[in-house]
């Protein structure tokens, strides 16, 4: 009797419910001297670290104090589908000025995190660490490092700019790969071939970030007992930045990935993909010296660090700037003119061969040293870099014996239009993928795009088939580099809809993902109208992005407005003269991209031009009469982007007139100077240049066979 | 009354100047920064001249950097960090390896050996002197015995005296890098002296064999270097000296890492090797005219 009484409270303790209250508010932050909008949780960015013990039940109240809805996704957690936090797909959104309760039991331990899954809110600050400790864990000093990237620019503007192939971020990064620089550095031919293969430039990331943070600071420090070991829980909570981790005080011993323990493996550095987590153990220096644990952005435009130890601070070796033209040369070799990647039979996978190494200055130095190292592979024996093949689970991870369904996903994308897809289709362009409880889903992923993608599966662990047999590691995010092929598999043991997507948020929002749906799932009370909910989910990648280029020059105004989505383009352009003789003209089109690579656009539209009396009506090169006065025509045509970005526009109007126009825009002459030229079969031509002063304003000048010479400013939106 | 007004005016005036002074107030701070020559001065001062620093002066005699800065714009922390990135340890920050290694020879100062984190008995990160870390350069006369041998080297290898031979070899190399013929000759004297001081009797058989095999070559080429001030002849002999030292060093490894560098151009394309403790290339065969020609082909450690 007594013993029962004793055990009872103990049992209650084991199933305790841990409650957190998160107040989400709009806020104003100032990281760079500029006040900008942000989103805070309980007044801070990032949000508070939530701590639990395995077996607890988490009860988290989201008090949305904003004027717009929100959601929270519990990244990496195995939980009931309706708690997953993908608004309209699995969970009801937290409406403005209301409270939403998330409640779920914790069946795992490790390092996880949470973030908004609503539009681009995560970028603005809605994220935090989620730590679950083991029941009986030997105590060890530890520190959580939540990494993030920050731009003062509104994330929606960033997204819009990316969809319009802005080169402003490259200018900010000092990474513009223009012809001038190519010429000076002896890579002119490389640049020419690169553009011939219809690639604009070479980079490892899309966005320029003003700041990189660890726990919301550029520099953090951790209080540890000197001379002992310490566990660092590293979470990459950035919106699109991979981080290199290096430590000045010795090896980094990786003990866990995505919350799951792996056999300790000591490395000199590792890259953390967007949304991945790693637990590492480092040596804390003796008193008197502090070593720097550095997270360097993959594009090396910035870093954040944590000082380990107390005393004089030994600066870690900074990672040098990327050698972009070397990367471009490598890309030229890998890419066919039709934008298909060829891996030259190298069977790449599991991050084992980092082709970007050709761009690392430290790799070049190491290569010189590494006697007889295989040319071009950046193999550097003295620096051990973690890759997925080195991860070995602590325990057996074999799945129950069950039927296996294998699917192949090709990761695809159009860099120039910023359309990111799987098998050339967005989430909204495909049906949900039905899976059956009790089966194994195996996915072979091939990255045929030019960027790496951290692919994340909600609510499940997958095994990464990395050659470790029954100790293949469990993860919920896998980074796939260009040209790599990786295979993952997971046991279907739930119900409902589970998102699988690229965790670079701008890629996800453009449609790079799929939804897995369990057959015969029970209805979800949080999403009562499934069809309506799906429409909301699909709306994310069906959006149109606007763009404008407006020239205000001494010879008149030229301009263009565009609205583009994944497949459609609405466009209107105009040329306004300053007097009647110069007249005006306008062309408006609606078009659709017809091929997979989006080089071919078919369109139809309406043109009108007006020019006063004594017009020089002439003949085009096809011998057809061609008046420019009060000419209004319907037309239909095709635009094809040839190698070297030569845009050919062939069209026929309702009067039977044929026009062929060749244009090349945005020739990068120097970092900020762009040239362009155009000529058509009506014997009109023009050429000009513009010099980017800011993201939106350029000085410009051009000559046009109709309007003459002009100079002024061009506004690019 | 008049007086009162005058006082008030002056008070107001003081108030204004005080406010102004607060906005643009300058602070002066002095830090001890190592270094010894004009080159160091340039590097230290330019590294310290961040935005908000009005003046930065480094005095070679006192080895002190005095900065006059605006606290509203820049912090001492940022200044010291920048100086450390340029290669100079200071009270708050220690320079990264590469920053230190890129320093001119005369700027190399005596660094405390970096102790890696962890307990000495811990094999993952035991107390070793970081490979590639350059010991301070000798600028004194060769007759002065090197008193700053690597501590571990001194402990382990002092009994056979080979570490002194290596030390001298690197000094000859450094002189050739600087196109300093007389200096190289003097260092070669020191090399011969160290060679004579080697206690072969305490060597293990393998070490002894390797040493004996190269002894004649080392002796004759060092004699050639010490007997002339003609850089051409010295360099030819240095090529042979390097060939002699290399197998010895491979057998009797120093505790620090050594890089085997190769210059493919020397001797009309015949090529020549040399040994160095620094990873960066500083070519002794061409000196200033082609300082960075060559590459590392091997690491001995």
The answer, for B71 touching chain A at a CB cutoff of 8 Å, is no
Q: Note the pTM of the prediction, 2 decimals.
A: 0.76
Where do the DSSP E strands lie in A400-523?
404-414, 419-422, 433-435, 440-447, 453-457, 462-464, 474-475, 477-480, 485-491, 497-502, 513-518
Measure the CA angle with vertex A268, ends A265 and A271; round to 5°.
Answer: 85
User: Is the CB of residue B115 less than 8 Å away from at least one CB of chain A?
Assistant: yes
Least confidently predicted of A90-99, A312-321, A676-685, B116-125: B116-125
- Range scoring the smallest mean pLDDT among A294-303, A406-415, A707-716: A707-716
B116 to A249: CB separation less than 8 angstroms, yes or no? yes
pLDDT value of residue A347: 66
Higher local confidence (pLDDT), B231 or A344: B231
Residue B134 pLDDT exceeds 60: no
CA distance A304 to chain B (A): 15
Can you tell me the mean pLDDT for A260-277? 94
Residue B143: its pLDDT value, please?
36
Question: Which is more confident, A402 or A329?
Answer: A402
pLDDT of residue A193: 85
Q: Which residue of A has its CA nearest to B119?
A: A227
Instruction: Give the ipTM.
Output: 0.76
Check CB contact of B116 with chain A, cutoff 8 Å.
Answer: yes
A494 touches chain B (CB under 8 A): no
Report yes or no: A395 and A359 within 8 Å, Cβ to Cβ.
Answer: no
pLDDT at B7: 54
Per-residue pLDDT at A73 exceeds 60: yes
Highest mean pLDDT: which of A135-144, A256-265, B104-113? A256-265
Helix, strand, coil percentages in chain B from 3-state DSSP, rounded to 5: 50, 15, 40
pLDDT of B271 reads 81
* Percentage of chain A exceeding pLDDT 90: 55
In this complex, is the C-beta atom of A382 within 8 Å of any C-beta atom belonging to chain B? yes
Q: Provide the pLDDT for residue A186.
A: 83
Above pLDDT 90, what percent of chain B? 13
CB contact under 8 A, B94 and A227: no
**What is the least distance, in Å, from the CA of B222 to any CA of chain A?**
28
pLDDT of A94 > 90? The answer is yes
pLDDT over 70 percentage in chain A: 92
**Are the beta carbons of B67 and B29 closer than 8 angstroms?**
yes
- CA A192, A194, A198, A203 dihedral sign is negative
Predicted confidence (pLDDT) at residue A665 exceeds the cutoff of 50: yes
Chain B contact for A309, CB < 8 A?
A: yes
> Is B111 an interface residue toward A (CB < 8 Å)?
no
pLDDT score of B33: 87
Helices and strands in chain A: count of H runs, count of E runs? 10, 45
Q: Is the predicted pLDDT of residue B154 greater than 70, yes or no?
A: no
Cα–Cα distance, B196 to A676 (Å, whole number): 75
**B18-73: per-residue pLDDT in tens?**
444 455 688 898 888 887 777 788 888 888 888 889 988 888 788 888 999 998 88
**Closest Cα in chain B, distance from residue A184 (Å):** 21
Calpha distance A14→A405 (Å, rounded): 38
- Residues in A closer than 8 angstroms to B98, CB to CB, are 317
Q: Under a CB-based contact definition with an 8 Å cutoff, are residues B279 and B132 in contact? A: yes
A288-297 and A311-314 as β-strands: parallel, antiparallel, unpaired?
Answer: parallel
Quote the minimal CA–CA distance from B294 to chain A in Å: 10
Write the burial class of residue A437 (CB in 10 Å: 0-12 exposed, 13-18 middle, 19+ buried). middle
SS3 category, A10? helix
- Test mutation, B52, B94, B117, chain A, max A CBs within 10 A: B117
Average pLDDT over chain A reads 87
Q: Considering only A89-93, A145-149, A672-676, which range has the smallest mean pLDDT?
A: A672-676
- pLDDT for A361 beyond 80: no
How large is the average pLDDT for residues A572-594?
86
Q: Which of A298, A572, A661, A593 is nearest to A417 (CA)?
A: A593
Give me the pLDDT at residue B3, please. Answer: 56
Dist. CA A284–CA A230, nearest whole Å: 7
**Residue A341 DSSP one-character state:** B
pLDDT computed for residue B17 by the predictor: 44
> Is any Cβ of chain A less than 8 angstroms from the Cβ of B279?
yes
Instruction: Tell me whether B120 touches chain A (CB under 8 Å).
Output: no
SS3 annotation, A428-439: CCCCCEEECCCC
Confidence of residue B6 (pLDDT cuts 50, 70, 90): low
Is B299's Cβ below 8 Å from some Cβ in A?
yes
Question: How far is the C-alpha of A336 from the C-alpha of B151, rounded, in Å?
Answer: 57
Please state, in angstroms and rounded to a whole number, the distance separating the CA atoms of residues B49 and A594: 57
Answer whether A283 sits within 8 Å of B98, measured CB to CB.
Answer: no
CA of residue A472 relative to chain centroid, distance: 27
CB within 8 Å: A286 and B117: yes
Lowest mean pLDDT among A578-587, A650-659, A708-717: A578-587
Contacts of A227 in chain B (CB under 8 A): 117-119
pLDDT band with cut points at 50, 70 and 90 for residue A4: very low
Nearest-CB residue to B93 (from A250, A283, A315)? A315
A542-559 pLDDT tens trace: 999 999 989 888 888 888
Q: Is B119 on the interface with A (CB under 8 A)?
A: yes
Who has greater pLDDT, A357 or A272? A272
pLDDT score of A629: 66
Summarize the confidence of residues A693-698 as an average pLDDT: 89
Q: Is A643 helix (H, G, I), strand (E, B) or coil?
A: helix
Nearest CA-CA distance, residue A305 and chain B, Å: 14
Mean of pLDDT values over B111-131: 42
CB A207 within 8 A of CB A175: no
pLDDT surpassing 50 at residue A520 = yes
Inter-chain CB proximity B98 and A250 less than 8 Å: no
List strand residue ranges (DSSP E) for A611-683, in order: 618-619, 625-626, 631-642, 646-653, 658-668, 673-680
Interface touch B118/A318, C-beta < 8 Å: no
Q: Could you tell me if B298 lies within 8 Å of chain A, comparing CB atoms?
A: yes
What SS3 class is residue A563?
strand
Question: For residue A470, what pLDDT is reported?
Answer: 92
pLDDT confidence of residue B98: 79
Contact between A315 and B85 using a beta-carbon 8 Å cutoff? yes
Q: Is A127 within 8 Å of A275 (Cβ atoms)?
A: no
In this complex, which of A284, A308, A315 lies closest to B96 when CB atoms are compared? A315
Is the model's pLDDT at A315 over the cut of 80? Answer: yes
Q: Is the pLDDT of residue A128 over 60?
A: yes
pLDDT at B216 over 80: yes
User: A156 is written with which tokens?
Assistant: 């929606």
pLDDT at residue A198, rounded to an integer: 83
Q: Nearest 5°: phi and psi at B46?
A: -70, -35
Q: Give the nearest partner residue to A283 out of B99, B117, B299, using CB atoms.
A: B117
Tokens 């981790």 locate to A245
Instruction: Sort out which chain B residues have CB atoms less than 8 A from A249's CB and list them.
Output: 116-117, 125
Q: What is the pLDDT of residues A408-454, one digit of tens each?
A: 999 998 888 899 999 999 999 999 999 999 999 999 999 988 889 99
What residues in A contact B122, CB-CB < 8 Å?
Answer: 283
Our CA-based measurement puts residue A389 at a distance from the nearest CA of chain B, in whole angstroms, of 22
Residue B286: its pLDDT value, please? 80
pLDDT at B8: 52
pLDDT for res B118: 40
Distance from CA of A7 to the nearest CA of B (A): 43
Q: Is A650 helix (H, G, I), strand (E, B) or coil?
A: strand
- Min distance A247 CA to chain B CA atoms (Å): 11
Q: Name the more confident of A626 and A234.
A: A234
């Amino acid at each position: 009797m007594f013993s029962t009484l004793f055990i009872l409270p103990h049992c209650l303790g084991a199933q305790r419910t841990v409650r957190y209250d998160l107040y989400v508010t709009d806020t104003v932050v100032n990281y760079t001297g500029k006040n900008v909008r942000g989103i805070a949780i309980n007044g801070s960015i990032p949000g508070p670290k939530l701590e639990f013990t395995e077996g607890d039940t988490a009860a988290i109240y989201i008090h949305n104090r904003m004027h717009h809805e929100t959601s929270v996704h519990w990244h990496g957690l195995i939980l009931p589908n309706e708690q997953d936090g993908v608004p309209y797909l699995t969970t009801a959104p937290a409406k403005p000025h209301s409270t939403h309760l998330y409640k779920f039991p914790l069946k795992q331990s490790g390092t996880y995190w949470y973030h908004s899954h609503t539009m681009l809110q995560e970028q603005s600050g809605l994220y935090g660490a989620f730590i679950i400790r083991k029941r009986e864990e030997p105590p060890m000093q530890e520190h959580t490092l939540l990494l993030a990237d920050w731009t003062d620019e509104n994330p929606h503007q960033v997204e819009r700019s990316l969809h319009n192939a802005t080169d402003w971020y490259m200018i900010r990064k000092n990474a513009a790969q223009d012809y001038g620089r190519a010429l000076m550095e002896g890579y002119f031919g490389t640049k020419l071939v690169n553009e011939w293969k219809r690639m604009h430039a070479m980079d490892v990331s899309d966005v320029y970030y003003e700041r990189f943070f660890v726990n919301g600071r550029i520099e953090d420090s951790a209080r540890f007992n000197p001379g002992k070991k310490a566990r660092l829980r590293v979470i990459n909570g950035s919106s699109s930045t991979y981080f290199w981790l290096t430590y000045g005080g010795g090896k980094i011993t990786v003990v866990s990935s995505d919350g799951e323990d792996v056999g300790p493996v000591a490395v000199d550095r590792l890259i953390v993909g967007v949304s991945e987590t790693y637990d590492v153990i480092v040596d804390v220096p003796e008193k008197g010296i502090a070593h720097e644990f550095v997270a360097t952005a993959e594009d090396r435009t910035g870093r954040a660090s944590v000082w380990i130890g107390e005393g004089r601070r030994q600066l870690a070796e900074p990672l040098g700037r990327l050698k972009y033209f070397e990367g471009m040369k490598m890309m030229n070799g890998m890419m066919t003119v039709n934008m298909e990647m060829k891996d030259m039979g190298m069977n790449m996978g599991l991050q084992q061969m980092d082709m970007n190494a050709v761009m690392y200055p430290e790799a070049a130095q190491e290569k010189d040293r590494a006697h007889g190292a295989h040319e071009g592979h950046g193999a550097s024996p003295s620096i051990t870099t973690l890759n997925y093949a080195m991860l070995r689970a602590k325990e057996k991870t074999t799945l129950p014996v069950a039927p296996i369904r294998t699917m192949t996903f090709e990761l695809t994308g159009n860099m120039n239009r910023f359309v990111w897809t799987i098998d050339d289709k967005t989430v909204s362009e495909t049906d949900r993928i039905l899976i059956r409880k009790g089966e194994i889903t195996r996915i072979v992923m091939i990255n045929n795009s030019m960027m790496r993608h951290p692919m994340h599966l909600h609510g499940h662990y997958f095994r990464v088939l990395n050659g470790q047999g029954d100790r293949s590691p469990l993860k919920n995010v896998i980074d796939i580099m260009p040209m790599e092929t990786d295979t993952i598999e997971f046991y279907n043991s739930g119900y409902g809809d589970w998102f699988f997507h690229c965790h670079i948020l701008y890629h996800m929002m453009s449609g790079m993902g799929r939804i897995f749906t369990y057959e015969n799932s029970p209805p979800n009370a949080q999403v009562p109208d499934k069809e309506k909910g799906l429409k909301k989910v699909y709306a994310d990648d069906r959006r149109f992005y606007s763009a404008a280029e407006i020239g205000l020059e001494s010879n008149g105004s030229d301009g263009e407005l565009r609205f583009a989505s994944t497949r459609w383009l609405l466009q209107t352009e105009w040329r306004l003269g300053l007097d009647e003789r110069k007249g005006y003209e306008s062309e408006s089109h609606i078009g659709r991209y017809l091929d997979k690579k989006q080089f071919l656009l078919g369109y139809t539209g309406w043109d009108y031009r007006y020019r006063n009396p004594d017009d020089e009506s002439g003949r085009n090169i096809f011998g057809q009469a061609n008046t420019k006065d009060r000419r209004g025509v319907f037309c239909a045509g095709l635009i094809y982007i040839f190698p070297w970005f030569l845009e050919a526009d062939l069209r026929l109007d309702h009067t039977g007139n044929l026009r062929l126009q060749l244009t090349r825009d945005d020739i990068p002459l120097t970092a900020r100077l762009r040239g362009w030229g155009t000529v058509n079969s009506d014997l009109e031509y023009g050429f000009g240049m513009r010099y980017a002063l800011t993201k939106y304003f350029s000085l410009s000048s051009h000559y046009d066979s109709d309007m003459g010479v002009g100079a002024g400013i061009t506004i690019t939106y | 009354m008049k007086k009162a007004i005058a006082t008030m005016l002056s008070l107001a005036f003081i108030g204004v100047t005080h406010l102004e002074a607060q906005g643009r107030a300058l602070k002066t701070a002095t830090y001890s920064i190592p270094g010894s020559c004009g080159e160091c001065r340039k590097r230290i001062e330019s590294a310290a001249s961040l935005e908000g620093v009005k003046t930065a002066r480094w005095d070679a005699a006192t080895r002190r950097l005095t900065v006059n800065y605006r606290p509203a714009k820049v912090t001492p922390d940022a200044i010291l960090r920048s100086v450390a990135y340029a290669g100079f340890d200071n009270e708050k920050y220690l320079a990264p390896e590469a920053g230190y290694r890129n320093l001119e020879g005369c700027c190399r100062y005596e660094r405390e050996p970096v102790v890696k984190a962890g307990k000495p008995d811990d094999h993952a990160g035991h107390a070793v002197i970081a490979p590639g870390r350059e010991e301070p350069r000798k600028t004194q006369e060769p007759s002065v015995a090197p008193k700053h041998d690597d501590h571990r080297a001194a402990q382990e290898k002092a009994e056979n005296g080979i570490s002194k031979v290596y030390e001298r070899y690197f000094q000859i190399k450094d002189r050739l890098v600087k196109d300093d013929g007389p200096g190289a000759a003097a260092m070669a004297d020191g090399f011969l002296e160290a060679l004579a001081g080697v206690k072969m009797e305490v060597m293990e058989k393998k070490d002894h064999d390797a040493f004996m095999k190269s002894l004649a070559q080392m002796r004759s080429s060092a004699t050639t270097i010490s007997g002339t001030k003609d850089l051409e002849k010295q360099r030819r002999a240095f090529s042979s000296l390097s060939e002699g030292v290399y197998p010895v060093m491979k057998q009797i490894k120093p505790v620090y890492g050594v890089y085997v560098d190769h210059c493919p151009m020397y001797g009309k394309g015949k090529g020549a090797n040399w040994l160095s403790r620094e990873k960066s290339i500083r070519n002794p065969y061409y000196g200033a005219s082609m300082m960075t020609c060559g590459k590392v082909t091997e690491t001995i450690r």
